[in-house]
Structure 1
Amino acid sequence: MEKQADKKAGLRIVREFKAPKTLVFDAFATPEAFAAWWGPAGSQLSVERFDFRAGGSTHYKMDGNGHVMWGLFQYKNIQRADLLEFINSFADAEGNIITSPFPMDFPLEIFNRITLEENEGVTTLTIQGHPINATPAQEETYFSIMDGMQQGFAGTFDQLEAYLANVLE
């Protein structure tokens, strides 16, 4: 995994999966697949709404370690098997964007861009993210927890790797 903590670039993670890129992409594209692997390790994800198209959104609930959190993806650009762009936010049970459930001034919206490239059956997933419509204080908070976000995505992508291995069996 490659790390980049350049404040102008934001979060950048590169991860390889031994699976065709169509399969990796499809792990994001259906509610059943998405619920099987997305989120922090040890949490149970349930999908409340799933509209996987540009202009659509996914609203989900994560239960884990005695805590309940809600999230929202607002899809901006989807190019099957190659590109996924979305805005990720914390949400309430109705799907409204809310402040972070953690005691910090975190941005309300994070723009994420996922690209997929395949070479000889190995897919390289690159995710890049950065705050949008954020105050300077919110941006500073985002960049101050970059290492924690790297670790969180590593756990999530470990779950994606396990999901893909099960599908390929």
Structure 2
Amino acid sequence: MSTATRETQIVADPEVPLVRITREFDAPRGKVFRAHTDPELLVRWLGPRGLEMRIDHYDCRTGGSYRYVHSDADGEYAFRGCFHEVRPDELIVQTFTFEGQPDGVALEKLVLEDLGDGRTRLTVTSLCDSFADRDAMIAGGMEVGVVEGYERLDEVLARG
């Protein structure tokens, strides 16, 4: 199946301040997990096209932390968080903070499901402190960054 036919579903939960993102990839679960945990791969796909990415540190293990910066002609956008639980090929639980709004900390859970035939479903839930924080995250360009980022991830995975 062509990567162009993969759809990223982004749903804002009406009951709780949560965003659920679902995306399938034509790659084995281990490769998708590695692309989320290896900083050399992460820098090649995370975020929208047109932004440069610099990783200050990325220690993807239970108890580790990260900080990275996206930049363009308009400025820099820094993000940081802590890894609460990392289970190879299946789960990442982390916090996520945009440093431009340091009080808005989201708790994120990434679950990778083996669909067979070398395919993987990624489900990401992002729980925010409030509906206002969640809606601000969505309005701040999250959808473009997620959709374009996963398109870029398809390209990285296709290259091996």
TM over 0.5: yes
Q: Partners of 2:136 and 2:18 in 1: how far apart?
A: 11
> 1:141, CA displacement in angstroms?
4.0
1:90-169 maps to which residues of 2 (within 5 A)?
A: 90-91=98-99, 99=101, 107-119=103-115, 120-131=117-128, 134=129, 136=130, 139-143=131-135, 146=138, 148-167=141-160
Deviation beyond 3 Å, 4+ runs, structure 1: 144-148
Shift of the 161–48 alpha-carbon distance from structure 1 to 2, 3 Å rule, reads same
> Are 2:104 and 2:133, in contact at CA under 8 Å, matched by a contact in 1?
no
1:123-158, CA deviations, whole angstroms, 9 ceiling, x for partnerless residues?
A: 101111011xx3x5xx32423653643333111111
> Are 1:18 and 1:121, in contact at CA under 8 Å, matched by a contact in 2?
yes
SS of 1:41's equivalent in the other structure is: coil
SS of 1:124's equivalent in the other structure is: strand
Q: Partners of 1:15 and 1:142 in 2: how far apart?
A: 20
Q: Partners of 1:18 and 1:165 in 2: how far apart?
A: 8
Q: Partners of 1:30 and 1:142 in 2: how far apart?
A: 27
Identity of matched residues, %:
25
Q: Which residue of 1 aligns with 2:24?
A: 16
Q: Does 1:78 align with 2:86?
A: yes
Structure 1 letter corresponding to 2:152 = Q
1:91-127, CA deviations, whole angstroms, 9 ceiling, x for partnerless residues?
A: 3xxxxxx526xxxxxx521111111111221110111
Higher relative CO (CA 8 A, sep ≥ 6), structure 1 or 2? 2
In structure 2, list runs of 5 or more residues that go unmatched: 1-7
- TM-score normalized with structure 1 length: 0.79
Structure 2 letter corresponding to 1:124 = R
Q: Does 1:30 align with 2:38?
A: yes
SS of 2:71's equivalent in the other structure is: strand
Q: Single out whichever of 142-151 and 114-123 deviates more from structure 2.
A: 142-151
